[in-house]
Amino acid sequence: MSSPAVVLLTAALVVVFALMAAAAAAKLARLDGASYPAALMRAASAFAAVLALAAAVTGALAQILP
């Protein structure tokens, strides 16, 4: 089940979701009137939050599943 292909595909999928969340956060920040640096900071924090959430879920599932 945990072949290297599955692990790499899952990691790539998480990064794609994080990038989509970051792009959405930046777009919403710009629509709200934020400057480009402020929008970039919001995008970076959204990207980091999605990656941290994925790591937390992975850690929780690793303890539950054998």
Cα separation of the two ends of the chain = 12
Per-residue model confidence (pLDDT) at position 1: 60
Structural domains counted in the chain: 1
Residue 21 contacts residue 54 (beta carbons within 8 Å): no
- Residue ranges making up the domain that contains 20: 4-64
Per-residue model confidence (pLDDT) at position 65: 87
Model confidence, pTM: 0.88
Cα–Cα distance list, 48 to 28, 63, 64 (Å): 17, 23, 25
pLDDT tens digits, one per residue of 15-61: 999 999 999 999 999 999 999 999 999 999 999 999 999 999 999 99
